[in-house]
Structure 1
Amino acid sequence: MPLEDDFGRDVTGIRISLTDRCNFDCVYCHNEGLGDTRGPMDPQDDEMSADEVIRILEVVSDLGVDSVKFTGGEPMLRDDLEEIIRRTPDEMEVSMTTNGTFLPGRAPDLVDAGLERVNVSQDALDKEHFAELTKSGAYDRVIEGVEAALSAGLAPVKLNMVVFEPTAGYVPQMVDHVARNEGLRLQLIEYMPEISGHPEWAIDIERVHGWLEEQAHRIERREMHGRRRYFVEAGAVDDVDSTVALENSGVNPTGTEQPEEGLVEVVDPVENAQFCANCHRVRVTHDGKFKGCLNRHDDHRSMGSMSRDEIRETFEQTVANRVPYYGEYLVKEDGEWVPNEEYIDVLDQSAAADD
């Protein structure tokens, strides 16, 4: 049975950052809530070893966690990624978030190792715009990576697009892109200024929902998070430039052979209590600390020497100290996000009790 926090949420998922290194320098990066701490490209001493990652997964698997998503930084900078996936407990679903540049050549081996799903970060379909957002010239490589993932059997590939002022204008083209290319889905992720900075970049995410409602021919509500799923027919979005046809999708965007629709979801946790009420995951930082919430910086809990007992105890403490809704933990005062003193007091009392 999974552990349940004080607010009735079973913890059934875990996100593990395998490194804080990345070959991109995206302008919105918050590095799993740690801030843009990207360092040298060479492996760092503070990164967990493969043995440590697997030990964590074996312990939490015994405590009811049945899915893991590997993240970074860029997780594919780990040469031992295939080994880690292969050694993950068989009963756990394995997925990964990547920028896609290393998928060509490695996607088949990742699937053979046990990878089941992949999210690829892609914020624009124009090389120049993509370079401005990621500070990289790897656009073609990302497209190749998506194709490699599809060819390796990882469909549907979910594209992650952060929606904020610099990218909002690209949303129609990206929606049309997933509608025209079979095997793709789109996840529009709300920009989080409270951990990324630049509050002037934030947009009203309801504008995005409203626009999608106008474009969609069908809307469903997903059980997880109560999230709406928008189904948009190919060619339904007006006034977009011709999109990219992926070689392995079997789709010609100018012909008649097209999928019926594309699936689009919006990830909108900011000031959204319902989103947090349906959160069933905890996180592990690249240097081996449990983290109860993406948006908190004060709840990192070290697993010590990472014995199985220490991992178990720290995981149980992390679950027990989850807050109900980060919007109650972080509040806005005079336009700035500051901690809610009510929860600071609770945290201080909890820390004293642990000591």
Structure 2
Amino acid sequence: MHADETEDEDAAPGLRKIIHVDMDAFFASVEQRDDPDLRGKPVAVGGATGRGVVAAASYEARKFGVRSAMPSLRAQQLCPGLIFRKPRFDVYREVSQQIRAIFRDYTPHVEPLSLDEAYLDVTEDLKGIGSATRIAELIRQRIRKETGLTASAGVSYNKFLAKLASDQNKPDGICVIRPGQGAGFVAGLPVRRFHGVGPRGAEKMARLGIETGADLREKDIAFLKANFGSFADYLYRAARGIDLRPVRANRPRKSLGGERTFMGDISAGHALHETLDRIADIVWGRIEEAEARGRTVTLKLRFTDFRIVTRARSLPHFVSGKAEFVKLGHDLLDEMLPLPLPARLMGLTLSALEGEDAEKPQKDMAQLSLL
């Protein structure tokens, strides 16, 4: 399902027209753009030594298995010629502002997810173009012309499908999922493509006979709740391509964080602390990107039975820096040890952000790229 298909994606009345735009290897691509010597070479943005973590990897590096959230030492083992560059968040923010200005030429309904991706609702676009596919193509052309970078886009009638579509033809591609095609598109996908389903979750599903969206759709809600707890409602809707969330322009960010699903379940304290260090490194980078300050640190664990437990600590002052943020995370983890069951996922957030209501934090968790 590509943009050159002739069927009008806007033919069904009453449906939204949603675009998800995702920059291709954003941080690494900016580094390659600004330093011609890096073009065509494997590049990683992040710390190269000690407990450094890859924040982004070029497509040349990804061919070797290098991924974001990967320990830098592991990345260097996979790709001995890997070139590291320190993050330049001021530059990334500036380019992101350029891109968002392009979005707002077409619609005021823009919901940024991070510096490099956003949802756009173009049901009623400012230029009267009428076709979401055409708007997505125009936006991608302008991004290339005005920033020298490439973007991929997904076009559909809800956010879940648009985000799946934007990843379908990366890099520098577009995919359109038209009304009536959502359930069929999802049916052919491996469940690992669903946001929030990590390697261990996919393994559990495989043991239950669930490997694709079609397999998942065959399971009723009672079965899903018995096996996946509170995650069941999301899985039930996802298998049917259903997502009723609106695009929320100017959505106030109530928290910044990230979570990681493990390749193998973890119960040992030292392994959990090492994993927490890597997650904190990535999350603090996001906090620096946003120039955010907050007072509450929350640690989240999902156990092998899919039960979720969180612990939080609030300070009377803003967290002073990365060292205090990391220490609070480790203190919260120590309070939870020993674990009643091995953990399959860990998350860390900073909330009660400056200018927001500290009593009602809303999690804005990003799923880290997984190993």
TM tier, smaller: under 0.3
TM-score using structure 2 length: 0.26
TM-score using structure 1 length: 0.27
